[in-house]
Structure formats: structure tokens, C-alpha cells
């Protein structure tokens, strides 16, 4: 089920648009394509970035003369890039839909558990103070310098702790991010810490029965995190959206040629 939800998130990304998003605010496109990168079309490579290398999949249809979208997947607490890819399975979607796909790892705490330092509530529980926001920004810069990336189509998908981190990236690096998807994540509990330079589209997916990151908000290690409603209210305000949500329901129909979740 988790993999299916993650795929659904990816399929919805091209449809997202920020309310009140001004036109012409994307970073200017470079006139010359980057030099030929070390990982060519159809390859999955490890790219050095200081002491924190990351994995990048380059689809077969990559052409350095044509700009491609970039998707960055952020794993959950105690997981890893490989674990997240194991259930999201976005490598095959990268090939099918044509986007560059980055898979970074969080750092390890003293117990060997990987985490992202996203907010006070999640998930730097040993107070290492690692600058994951700066690290992921350097990752974006590295990929853009080596590959032809469409600056108007840069997406972060985060699961749980990764969802918290995706929100932080949208707060701090909005001018380089088009949209985020948070699966079971939450925004900062302090709105003053989120002052993005432009609107960023947001898709939040959250289970009502989640007992780890609660739909109604809660605490981690004594630090509060907001509810889904409060998280979305913050981003409606940031993006200039109406406070009155529009609710729609779509009936999902499974068939042999296009399998999908059955209606409940």
C-alpha cells in the first residue's frame, strides 16, 4: 500500500500548482547544457558530495540538450535511500516518464539509525545539529551542474521524517523547488521559521490510523509537531490560497490494462 501511495504522489506532481504563484519566478534556464556527466543515460551512479555521497538514476532517454525534471526521494526515520526505493519503486517510473531521480541518505545517529534534521520534533533526537538543509541544497546544485535539469520541475517526495524534511526544504529553498509531496510528514511547529521566497505546491498524504505521526498532531521527544490541518493551513496562507478548501472525490476503477486501488 505504501508503494502505491508513493506512486500516486508522483503521478500527481505534474498537476500541482501553487495558488497565487507569480509567473516568471522560476530560476533562469542556462543557455548551454552541462558537460557530459559521469553517469550516462540508463545508469544508476553514486555521486560524491563531501562525506555524503548520493545515488542518482539517469533514464535511458536522457539527452543533455533537453532539460529534464528532477525528483528527490527522502526516506523515513531509521530507513535509507535503498529501503525507500524498495517500496516506492520510482526507478522504473524514472525510465517510463523521463526524469532524473536522486536518492540521498540521512546521517546515522549513535544507534546507527538514519535520520534527517528537519524540525525540533523530527528527527535529530541526539542533537547532532547536522545541516541537512544545506546538504540537500548542495545536492541540487551538484545535479544541476552535471545534468540538464528543468528548473521549473524540481520535486521532493518525503516519507515520514523525509516528509518533515521536504517541508523544510520548501521553506528554506523555495526558489529552487517546484512542489513537494509529504507522506505522513508535517511542517515546522513554528510558522516564523518558514518564510519561503515564493509559493511551493504541496501534496500531503496521511493515514487516519497512523500511530507514529498522528493526523491530529503530537510530540516527539517532548517536542510538538502540528496536525495535518495546521500544516496545510500554514501552506495555504504561504501560497495565497483560500481558507475554504475544495473537496473532490474520484472513483478509482481497476481494470486489466490500468490497475489501481479499488474504491472503498
Please give the domain boundaries of the chain with CATH numbers for all domains. Answer: 2-13+41-239 (3.40.50.1820)
pLDDT tens over the chain, length 264 residues: 444 444 444 544 554 445 655 444 444 444 455 554 568 999 999 999 999 999 999 999 999 999 999 999 999 999 999 999 999 999 999 999 999 999 999 999 999 999 999 999 999 999 999 999 999 999 999 999 999 999 999 999 999 999 999 999 999 999 999 999 999 999 999 999 999 999 999 999 999 999 999 999 999 999 999 999 999 999 999 999 998 878 887 765 555 444 433 333
Cβ proximity of 167 and 186 under 8 Å = yes
Amino acid at each position: 500500500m505504501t508503494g502505491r501511495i508513493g506512486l500516486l504522489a508522483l503521478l500527481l506532481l505534474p498537476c500541482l500548482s501553487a495558488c497565487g504563484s507569480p509567473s516568471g519566478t522560476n530560476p533562469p534556464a542556462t543557455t548551454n547544457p552541462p558537460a557530459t556527466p559521469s553517469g550516462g543515460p540508463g545508469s544508476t551512479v553514486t555521486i560524491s558530495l563531501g562525506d555524503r555521497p548520493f545515488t542518482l538514476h539517469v533514464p535511458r532517454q536522457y539527452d543533455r540538450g533537453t532539460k529534464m525534471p528532477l525528483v528527490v526521494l527522502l526516506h523515513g526515520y531509521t530507513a535509507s535511500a535503498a529501503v525507500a526505493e524498495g517500496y516506492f519503486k520510482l526507478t522504473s517510473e524514472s525510465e517510463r516518464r523521463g526524469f532524473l531521480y536522486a536518492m540521498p541518505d540521512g546521517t546515522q545517529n549513535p544507534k546507527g539509525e538514519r535520520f534527517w534534521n528537519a524540525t525540533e520534533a523530527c528527527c535529530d533526537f541526539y542533537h547532532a545539529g547536522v545541516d541537512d538543509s544545506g546538504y540537500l541544497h548542495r545536492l541540487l546544485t551538484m545535479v544541476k551542474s552535471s545534468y540538464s535539469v528543468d528548473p521549473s520541475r524540481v520535486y521532493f517526495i518525503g516519507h515520514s521524517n523525509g516528509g518533515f524534511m521536504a517541508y523544510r526544504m520548501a521553506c528554506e529553498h523555495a526558489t529552487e523547488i517546484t512542489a513537494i509531496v509529504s507522506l505522513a510528514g508535517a511542517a515546522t511547529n513554528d510558522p516564523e521559521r518558514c518564510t519561503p521566497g515564493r509559493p511551493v505546491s504541496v501534496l500531503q498524504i496521511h493515514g487516519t490510523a497512523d500511530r507514529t505521526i498522528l493526523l491530529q498532531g503530537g510530540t516527539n521527544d517532548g517536542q510538538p509537531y502540528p496536525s495535518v490541518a495546521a500544516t496545510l493551513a500554514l501552506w495555504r496562507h504561504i501560497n495565497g490560497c483560500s481558507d475554504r478548501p475544495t473537496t473532490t472525490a474520484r472513483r478509482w476503477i481497476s481494470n486489466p490494462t490500468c490497475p489501481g486501488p479499488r474504491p472503498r
